[in-house]
A and B are shown apart, each in its own frame.
Chain A
Amino acid sequence: MRDIARNKWVQFAGLATVGALALSACGGSSSSSSASTAAASAAAPASSAAAACTTPTPVKLQLQWFVQAQFGGYYAAKDMGYYKDACLDVTILEGGVDIVPQTVLAQGGADFAISWVPKALSSREQGAGIVDVAQVYQRSGTRQVAWADSGIKTSADLKGKKVGNWGFGNEYELFAGISKAGLDATSDVELVQQQFDMKALLSREIDAAQAMTYNEYAQLLEAKNPKTGKLYTAADFTILDWNTEGTAMYQDAIWASQERLADAAYQATTQAFVQASLKGWIYCRDNAQGCADIITQNGSKLGASHQLWMMNEVNKLIWPSPMGVGVVDPALWDQTVAVAMGTKNLDGVAIISAAPDAEAYTDTYAKAADAALEAEGLNVTGDAFVPVEVVLNEGGN
């Protein structure tokens, strides 16, 4: 009896060890890929390409979502070696459902973060010490899409309709647009919580749906019309554009840690990072296909035509940047703040209660970066930018 019992435990321990070994083997392979980011944080002052680079400064960038063309410029800067040239060793951290980039940044989990301005300002009001150091997107990519035969052509036409929205702070441009049209968001329209796909609009459960130009809108054009057996076309839909309605808010921007910006080494890193990132965006503007390919190589599962479509639409949100890429347009910033303060959602809550202080954004880094990039012979306003034509295939393939 005693021997049986002991044997059993020896064997159990053996099993456990085998499991642990198999696991450590797998862990080893996954860590070796990331081990390249050595923690030698000597913080070598990373001035631009000219300075001799002995130890690259490790930098972590937190994205809002998985790898996709929305973040094309950063992946291009990494793969084209712009970060390396600037003596930076950049690790791009992908987002997820519950990852809040500005919180990760504020807690020190990343050195920089990409976040929409209104959401970041809200976090900032709640105490996150973050600064907008480059306002990459100059236009809002959020639209309200309706069936062309629904008669919805302006915000005022939403009266009495079932209007989908994502909630979670993504609904403010829509609510501001509804208010601006003289409607009451709580009584004049029927607001419906919308999933992050377009099935509800396609099955006509709702009359208008929220969509990003670079993603959900493309999903509509990739779906087959069961009546004709062909893909839907732009003619099947009407679009409410918050940029022209005047309730658009600033979206993707690079955020840095306010506290650490007092440190000269971090300042230099920020300067180098902003400049290399903007150079990446310029590459994506001039090589939409090349940049889309970089995204695919980095593990995006999106179909080829969807990827290129997204890249092209993202380019349209950035270019032209009349004041120079990454520079905040004060008028649009003020509009963002006004909408964020003045619009209440269904719970009666506005994004921010008071205007942010002047330190919420700085143009210093973007302007210096633009000057340096211009000296390299690059066009930093994109005044001659022409989007490419993208044909979407079924399912985005």
Chain B
Amino acid sequence: MTHTAVVTSTAPRRTSTASRRFKRGAVSVLWALAGVAIAILMWELVKWVGTLVSLPFDSGDGTMPHVWTIVDAFSQPEVRGSDTTVLQAVVTSAAHSLLIAAGGFIIGVSVGLLLAIIMQRFSFMERGLLPFVIASQTVPLIALAPLIVGIGNRISFGPIQWDTTYSVMFIAAYLAFFPLSVGALRGLHSPTPTSLELMRSYAATPRQMLFRLRFPSSLPYLVPALKVSAASAIIGTVVAEISTGVKGGIGRLIIEYAREASSNPAKVYVAVLGALVLGLVAAGLVTALDLYLTRNLPKEGKA
């Protein structure tokens, strides 16, 4: 009841907050666009300087095509006579990679969370498991990827065969679980002794402690960990695709287009831009998740 009362009383103010928020949003969008414009100007500036003095690297059209050449490559047909444009191919591949990365992310996050819960609950597990969790990330990905694909080739469950796509997803999950398990572990440890004692005085079961206290208070740790995990999942997907040549994704497309780099250098930049946008989309999705999860928590710099 009090809740509604508060809302009504602050209603007029809220519109002004909304318009202020809109203004702030518009300004940040403008800044972002300015950043892109500056990047484009810098690129062309380096090319222009390269025509005047000799730079320590090649800035010719063969290596650094003009921005408008790259934009022009968006609408080129992928192969002559095909209906698909380069842009369409890049978007389709990026979407494919995003789905694989999302799969890896969900698996990785689930495993990471589970590990964190186990490690929090049993301190001997934390001591025993954590070194392995950390060691898992020191294995170089390019050594691991062919191995996982190789093992995958030998797996089959009855009539269902292991698809190389699953191997890529596995690699994405392998990278994604780590930041989350470490972040979640810290988060689960974060409740103050006072809160824990209060829960104990209520005779709360370990499960109640976990769901009522530890999970909610781990959110501030969990959200940044989720962001890092999402980025890791994307990196894992793209690198695994490049490394093992799995079809359909943006990593493979970059290699395919790189082969034409001698005669059509702009094309590979379109694919690289696609990978970049893919990373941004993933980051955006996690930020949206963040806003949703922490909507009831006090925001920094506000309140």
A interface residues, Cβ below 8 angstroms from B: 2, 4-6, 8-9, 11-12, 15-16, 19-20, 22-23, 26-27, 30-31, 34-35, 37-39, 60, 65-66, 93-100, 103-104, 107-110, 196-199, 202-203, 205, 215-216, 219-220, 222-224, 226, 296, 299, 301-304, 393-397
Q: Closest residue to A8 on the B side, CB-wise?
A: B293
B245–A199 CB distance below 8 A: no
A16 and B103 alpha carbons, distance in the complex (Å): 10
Residues of B within 8 A of A226 (CB): 61
Size category, B interface: 35 or more
18 A-B pairs besides A23-B99, A94-B247 with CB distance below 8 A are: A6-B212, A16-B106, A22-B99, A39-B158, A60-B153, A66-B255, A95-B245, A96-B146, A97-B255, A98-B145, A196-B258, A196-B259, A199-B261, A301-B257, A302-B79, A303-B79, A303-B80, A396-B260
B262–A35 CB distance below 8 A: no
**Residues of B contacting A: mostly:** helix
A11 and B231 alpha carbons, distance in the complex (Å): 23
Residues of A within 8 A of B161 (CB): 31, 34-35, 37, 39
A31 and B58 alpha carbons, distance in the complex (Å): 45
B150–A301 CB distance below 8 A: no
Q: Closest residue to A304 on the B side, CB-wise?
A: B80
Q: Residue B94 at the A interface, CB < 8 A? A: no
Q: Closest residue to B242 on the A side, CB-wise?
A: A97
A107 and B153 alpha carbons, distance in the complex (Å): 10
B interface residues, Cβ below 8 angstroms from A: 58, 60-63, 78-81, 99, 102-103, 106, 109-110, 142-143, 145-146, 149-151, 153-154, 156, 158-161, 163-166, 211-212, 215-216, 241-247, 252-253, 255-265, 289, 292-293, 296
Report the minimal beta-carbon distance from B195 to chain A, rounded to whole angstroms: 12
CB < 8 Å neighbour of B262 from A4, A23, A197, A302: A197
CB < 8 Å neighbour of A104 from B150, B212, B216, B263: B150
Residues of B within 8 A of A5 (CB): 211-212, 215-216
B242–A397 CB distance below 8 A: no
**A97-B245, A302-B79, A303-B80 known; A394+B263 contact, CB < 8 A:** yes
Residues of B within 8 A of A26 (CB): 99, 103
Residues of B within 8 A of A34 (CB): 161, 163
A223–B262 CB distance below 8 A: yes
A66–B215 CB distance below 8 A: no
Q: Closest residue to A32 on the B side, CB-wise?
A: B160
B211–A219 CB distance below 8 A: no
A11 and B215 alpha carbons, distance in the complex (Å): 14
Top 8 nearest A-B pairs (CB, nearest first) are A96-B245, A397-B80, A109-B153, A109-B150, A96-B244, A219-B262, A39-B156, A23-B103
A98–B58 CB distance below 8 A: no
Residues of B within 8 A of A19 (CB): 102, 106
**A104-B150, A304-B79 known; A199+B62 contact, CB < 8 A:** yes
Q: Closest residue to B144 on the A side, CB-wise?
A: A98
Residues of B within 8 A of A65 (CB): 245
Residues of A within 8 A of B62 (CB): 199, 202-203
Report the minimal beta-carbon distance from B113 to chain A, rounded to whole angstroms: 10
B150–A96 CB distance below 8 A: no
A215 and B258 alpha carbons, distance in the complex (Å): 13
Residues of B within 8 A of A94 (CB): 245, 247
B60–A93 CB distance below 8 A: no
Residues of A within 8 A of B58 (CB): 199, 203, 205
**A197-B258, A197-B262 known; A99+B211 contact, CB < 8 A:** no
Report the minimal beta-carbon distance from A390 to chain B, rounded to whole angstroms: 15
Q: List 8 A-B contacts (CB under 8 A).
A: A8-B216, A11-B292, A19-B102, A23-B106, A96-B244, A96-B255, A99-B146, A99-B149
Q: Closest residue to B77 on the A side, CB-wise?
A: A397
CB < 8 Å neighbour of B296 from A2, A4, A224, A299: A4
B247–A110 CB distance below 8 A: no
CB < 8 Å neighbour of B165 from A30, A60, A100: A30
A15–B289 CB distance below 8 A: yes
Report the minimal beta-carbon distance from B57 to chain A, rounded to whole angstroms: 11
A6–B103 CB distance below 8 A: no
Report the minimal beta-carbon distance from A16 to chain B, rounded to whole angstroms: 6
**A203-B62, A395-B263 known; A107+B245 contact, CB < 8 A:** no
A108–B154 CB distance below 8 A: yes
B260–A395 CB distance below 8 A: yes
A173 and B212 alpha carbons, distance in the complex (Å): 69
Residues of B within 8 A of A202 (CB): 62, 262
Residues of B within 8 A of A397 (CB): 79-80
CB < 8 Å neighbour of A2 from B146, B151, B212: B212
A222–B154 CB distance below 8 A: no
CB < 8 Å neighbour of B263 from A96, A108, A396: A396
Residues of B within 8 A of A196 (CB): 258-259
Residues of A within 8 A of B151 (CB): 109
**A8-B216, A27-B166 known; A395+B264 contact, CB < 8 A:** yes
Q: Closest residue to A307 on the B side, CB-wise?
A: B79
B293–A203 CB distance below 8 A: no
Residues of B within 8 A of A30 (CB): 163, 165
A301–B293 CB distance below 8 A: no
